Amino acid sequence: MKRFVYADNAATTPLSETAFNAMKPWLTEFYGNPSSLYRIGREAKMALNEARTTVGKCLNAAMPVNEANDYAPGEIIFTGGGSQADNLAIRGFMHGPTAKGRKHLITSKIEHHAVLYTCEALEKEGFRVTYLDVDKYGRVDLEQLKNELSEDTALVSIMAANNEIGTIQPLKEIAALAHSVGAKFHTDAVQAVGHMHIDVQEMGIDMLSLSAHKFRGPRGVGVLYVKKGIALEPLVYGGGQERGLCSGTENTAGCIGLAAAMQEAVEGLDEKMGYVKRLTDKLVKGVMDKVPYTHFTGDPENRLPGTASFVFEAIEGEGLILMLDNMGICGSTGSACSTGSLDPSHVLMAIGLPHEIAHGSLRLTLGEQNTEEDVDYLIETVAQVVSTLRSMSPVWENGKPNLTAASELHEHH
Amino acid sequence: MQYSEKVLDHFTHPRNVGEIEDANGVGEVGNAKCGDIMKIYLKVSDDGVIEDVKFKTFGCGAAIATSSMATEMVKGKTLEEALKLTNKAVAEALDGLPPVKMHCSVLAEEALRSAIADYYKRMGKDPAEILGCSMDCAACHHEHDEHAH
Ligand SMILES: Cc1ncc(COP(=O)(O)O)c(C=O)c1O
Ligand code: FES
Ligand SMILES: [Zn+2]
């Protein structure tokens, strides 16, 4: 029997009922521009600042009250999503006064492109960037970090959890190392917030990016948390909103939806993620038991609760996604064919998977909406689809992969 | 990137998948960069007609769909006719391919030519004279611009 199973919660999540209800009045009834002086404008402004406070509390940001009596939990800067928050953090910091003229930046090889391409752009401007290696589980090399840090290092930017394989990084240790040379620490926590505990004070985080749609808020709105005392160069110039860092009339409903979804996610975190983790464990075990010549990717222990990522030998990921789609399943792959580029995902390359094998990757990411029945259906269908594709594959012979063909071909390049 | 209905149809219900036990022409080509490998089996009659054709493909949706379409287009044709099949014609028959996927149709054309070359070799003929190239696609990739990915 065919079902519809959404198992791509790392790509985006369905808006929660709570977030939707919180947003509705700000789309229809209270449409005032938060910068306007009259009542409905002031109301919008107040609601925005309440949302800021909620976000600050969820991150356990320090909560100084400023002169304007704007509650300013650290600095919560609303942006148009996770990518904008990453751009503002990295580019804004390196160009800003708090970098104190230091020209070196450290990140990792498995960051999201919002970070990697920002770093590449900075390199063209003359900044020096170190891209840290990761081990086979996707954990950054702390020894290498130690060796690369210097008095010229302005910023260390390492993601909290990886979007493809779910590996969680040792944030506290990284922050301490960065601080030991007077550098600041930014983390792209887009996949982490709402899925694991985050405490910016306890973890020593100076800047943190998050995005509402990864924890059942609306798409197109995010936050950059900036610790008090850090000055950034603006991302968008204009009317001076968001402390002049990200100008433009605020997405009131979006920001309020973000805060509502975040509060809901963080309050029920242990219970919900315990449930999601049980489902994911069952999924991983089921797939690994049922499908031969399969590799599990990501850290077996320190991993996001909903992430299950695999590579299947002798098949290619795009075909897998299309066939699963026919069976009502939404998942994703890092295969080259799917990205339109020539190489499989940079994350799968960085954890050391050979090209031929990395092409057969599948990422299934579960959320609180998924059920046991979903997981049973996923296991059964993935096994069936992989076997169909293998029966069509020239590198699958007599029930096992014959990848020498692939590796020989590979040497031509 | 969007696939046409025809591509999705051929991907979901591929024609001529499999192997031919007593094939008299087999060709395998691959684009390692993309991770596509395609193998074509031919059963050619004494008077040079492709009586049966089967394929196996390791590759994306477009690679599987173009293999399926290409085999369908040459089945029952003479070798001379089959050699005239271009990757463009295969792509057109599929109502077009996204630009980044055109290289997958090149692969289908190459696999077919390689299988035909193998048939000629088995018949004791020099395929280079008939096909106009050595059919060592991996070696000639860098020379042909249309093979560039
Ligand atoms: C780790 C990570 N960083 C950044 C982003 C970008 O976020 P957004 O799509 O909200 O711009 C994503 C989303 O895919 C992500 O997974
Ligand atoms: S077409 Fe491939 S070698 Fe000539
Ligand atoms: Zn392809």
Query: Considering only CA atoms, which residue is closest to atom 2 of ligand 2?
Result: B137
- Taking the CA of B27 as reference, the closest ligand is 2
Do the chains contact at A316 and B138, CB–CB below 8 Å? no
Asked if the model's pLDDT at residue A391 lies above 80, the reply is yes
Rounded to the nearest angstrom, the distance between the alpha carbon of A322 and the centre of ligand 2 is 30
What is the bridge-based pairing of β-strands B25-31 and B36-44?
A: antiparallel
Q: What is the pLDDT of residues A126-158, one digit of tens each?
A: 999 999 999 999 999 999 999 999 999 999 999
Task: Give contacts of A362 with chain B, Cβ < 8 Å.
Answer: none
Least Cα separation, residue B49 to chain A (angstroms) = 25
Q: Where residue B131 falls among pLDDT bands split at 50, 70, 90? A: confident
Asked if the model's pLDDT at residue A306 lies above 80, the reply is yes
Q: What is the pLDDT of residues B36-63, one digit of tens each?
A: 899 999 999 999 999 999 999 998 899 9
**Most informative mutation of B29, B85, B109, B144 for ligand 2 (most atoms within 8 A of CB):** B144
Task: Give contacts of A334 with chain B, Cβ < 8 Å.
Answer: none
Chain A residues in contact with chain B using a Cβ-Cβ cutoff of 8 Å: 314-316, 318-319, 322-323, 326, 335-338, 340, 342-344, 355-356, 359, 391-396, 405-406, 409-413
Asked if the model's pLDDT at residue B143 lies above 50, the reply is no
Mean pLDDT of the region A245-263: 97
- With contact defined as beta carbons under 8 Å apart, do A382 and A291 qualify? yes
Pocket lining for ligand 1, CB < 6 angstroms: A 81-83, 86, 112, 114, 159, 163, 188, 190-191, 211, 222
Q: Kindly give the number of the ligand 2 atom that is closest to the alpha carbon of B133.
A: 4
Task: Give contacts of B101 with chain A, Cβ < 8 Å.
Answer: 337
Mean pLDDT of chain A: 93
Question: Amino acid identity of B48?
Answer: G
Q: Where residue B107 falls among pLDDT bands split at 50, 70, 90? A: confident
Q: Kindly give the number of the ligand 1 atom that is closest to the alpha carbon of A219.
A: 10
Please give the pLDDT value at position B99: 86
Task: Give contacts of B136 with chain A, Cβ < 8 Å.
Answer: none
B93 touches chain A (CB under 8 A): no
Global pTM value: 0.91
Q: Is B137 a catalytic residue?
A: no
Q: What is the pLDDT of residues A310-362, one digit of tens each?
A: 999 999 999 999 999 999 999 999 876 665 566 788 999 999 998 878 889 99
Q: What is the ipTM of this complex?
A: 0.86
